[in-house]
Amino acid sequence: MDDTSDFDRESLLLKPVAAYFRRKSFRWQEEELPFYAHRVDLYGFSRVSGRTVAVELKLHKWQRAFAQVILYQLCADYVYIAMPANSIGRVDIDLLKTHGIGLLSIGNGGRCRQILGSEQSTVVCDNYKDIYVNILTKGEEYKW
Amino acid sequence: MVDPKVIIRMGSHAEKDYIEKTARYLDGIIVGANLFEATPGATATLLGKRLNKPYYIDPMTYAYGRNLDLIKSPQGKTRELDFKRSYKNLSEKLSQPFTSALRKNSRVTPKDFEGGLKTEKCCQAVMEYQLNRIKEKFDEDPEYKEYASDIPNPAAIYAPYFYIEPNNHDAWLDLVLLLAGVSAGLKYDVPVHAIICTDQPMLDYPNFLSKLKSELPRTGVEGVWFWFSDFDELTSDVERLKAFRSLVEDVSKEIKVYNLHGGYFSLSLCKYGLSGVSHGVGYGEQKSVVPVVGAATPTVRYHLPDFHKRLGVPAIQRCFDSLGIKTPDDFHEKICGCVVCKGVVSKDLAEFRLFGDMAYSTPISKRLAQTPAAAKRCRFHFLMNRIRERDELKEKNVEGILAELDAVEEKWSGQVSVKDDMTHLSRWRQALA
């Protein structure tokens, strides 16, 4: 079993997760993108597929991550919760599966493993997505 | 069964626009005497002339019986901590024991009222303040002087009141009841009401509630306004909701009962005798006796009519697809068809985001904040809905209210983004049944 001592802060999860999604072609990335009262920990855009991904990093409280990513399905094609490997056991995988939410496990040393793939969001709104894609690719300011 | 009144509490003059534009639908306006003293001219003109609505002036006497630091702020060039000008001016108008409390920097306590004469003088000063303050202000102004005699009286005047501290509730309650009784005995032409201000856990004390039920009507006041500090209808457990309902039900058999800071649950207690509810224009359906100082401006969220509660825009928008909301017409039918919503969500469903519009308030801001325009939309939408809720309640019986709560639970069940925001519906149902 992995030890979470490598990840005593959520921000430490960011680097391996960002690298993982870069490898998956989501090369345009931004951290802490605001979405109403929330901040998307990592938002990525793949020019190859034209799809976007929103990731919520959490050390333990997966239910809080769930409440956030369910909203991020409005602004991203795919959504993921990323957690340290030894916290994954507490997650209700069936619930995530029902709602099309992906789950990433980050082991010691930063190795990311997809436990559950995200499904294409059925509620994504183009107006939100376009704003974020323009922020990422054109450096536009955040403006609705 | 009573037709419930919605009385809007004006928290600042920045809210004037909301009140003026919705005034014709409202049943009354209430202002705190501290606001009056901070802006006497503007408040007198608004209440005495512009609105032409029943009005109430909350004398705010409880503030002098609390920790006096709560009514201090940095003053003058030295920014030294001193009493706020509004409370200082108010104390001078209300005279004893309020002036000496500030002079001695020592709060008012029940001991200050030992001796009957002082009590009567205090009640007289507090009530005459409410009766005459607007007229007095008009009299001072040559331009308005001629209107002074036409100023209507307040809809009711309040007896002096204090926060009934839970750890010494007998002494404080006895004082508040004494002040109510003396005030009622002064026989003004205007109805005299009492305010019972205490902490929400007092709803758990049957002896305290019994005493209120039996003693309040005996004071001779025509009405009472309850203020259970921090009593939040949306989060309160069933037992407290039931205790509040029972209190309303019993006391209203003899005198009028209002909730000083309430929401839809209180309003629906009109079926059990509640005469009305007051609250602010954007929030304020519950209030703490401890004032909020230095907090960031809260986001005004969208009042979801089905829940009678404010929620974030994305949590609601996330449900559109599964609720079958695809067009603005669907939205108006299934979420809200008020005039504000018809104006905002007119061409495209995505326009719903305008209720939660965010922007950086300054070029150096690091955090997004709700735009003033979005906050304004939410406030007007809330007020239009509150008026509709009041009107619909006039036509409904308890069974109708319960059936509506059931239908809402069924409609929204399975919506994960709002499931934690609808738990109050079943508690309300149990408390109202």
**Within an 8 Å CB–CB cutoff, is residue A5 touching chain B?**
no
How sure is the predictor about A4, in pLDDT bands with cuts at 50, 70 and 90? very low
Number of independent structural domains in chain A: 1
Q: Report phi then psi at B386, rounded to 5.
A: -65, -40
| Structure confidence at residue B147 (pLDDT) | 86
Q: Residue B372 CB: number of other CB atoms within 10 A?
A: 14
User: What are the tokens at A129?
Assistant: 């997505």
How do strand B72-75 and strand A112-116 relate by DSSP bridges?
unpaired
Nearest to B405 by CA among B310, B302, B268, B271: B268
| Structure confidence at residue A44 (pLDDT) | 97
Q: Cβ contacts of residue B201 below 8 Å, gap of 6+?
A: B166
Per-residue pLDDT reduced to its tens digit, B121-163: 999 999 999 999 999 999 998 888 888 888 999 999 999 999 9
Evaluate whether B383 touches B281 at the Cβ level (below 8 Å). Answer: yes
Distance from CA of B345 to the nearest CA of A (A): 15
Q: Is B425 left (phi over 0), alpha (psi -120 to 50) or beta?
A: alpha
Q: Is A37 inside a domain boundary?
A: yes
A70/B360 touch (CB, cutoff 8 Å), yes or no: no
Share above pLDDT 70 across residues of chain B, in percent, rounded to a whole number = 98
- State which residues form the domain around A41: 4-130
**Within an 8 Å CB–CB cutoff, is residue B339 touching chain A?**
no
Q: Which domains does chain B have, with CATH numbers?
A: 5-279 (3.20.20.70), 302-432 (no CATH)
**Within an 8 Å CB–CB cutoff, is residue A144 touching chain B?**
yes
Instruction: Check pLDDT > 90 for residue B333.
Output: yes
Cα gap A48→A22, rounded to integer Å: 12
Suggest the residue from A56, A66, A72, A74 to mutate for an interface test with chain B (most B CBs closer than 10 A).
A74
Instruction: Check pLDDT > 80 for residue B366.
Output: no
How sure is the predictor about A3, in pLDDT bands with cuts at 50, 70 and 90? very low
Q: Is A95 inside a domain boundary?
A: yes
Distance from CA of B12 to the nearest CA of A (A): 26
**What angle in degrees, to the nearest 10, is found between the helix axes of B206-218 and B169-185?**
10
Q: Is A136 inside a domain boundary?
A: no
Nearest to B95 by CA among B141, B63, B126: B126
Core vs surface per residue A60-97: b (16+ CB within 10 A) or e: eebeebbbbbbbbbbbbbbbbbbbbbbbbeebeeeebe
Residue A71 is nearest to which of B299, B318, B350, comparing CB atoms?
B318
How sure is the predictor about B369, in pLDDT bands with cuts at 50, 70 and 90? confident
CATH number of the CATH domain containing A46: 3.40.1350
Q: Residue B349 CB: number of other CB atoms within 10 A?
A: 18
Q: Give the residue on B whose Cα is nearest the Cα of A144.
A: B357
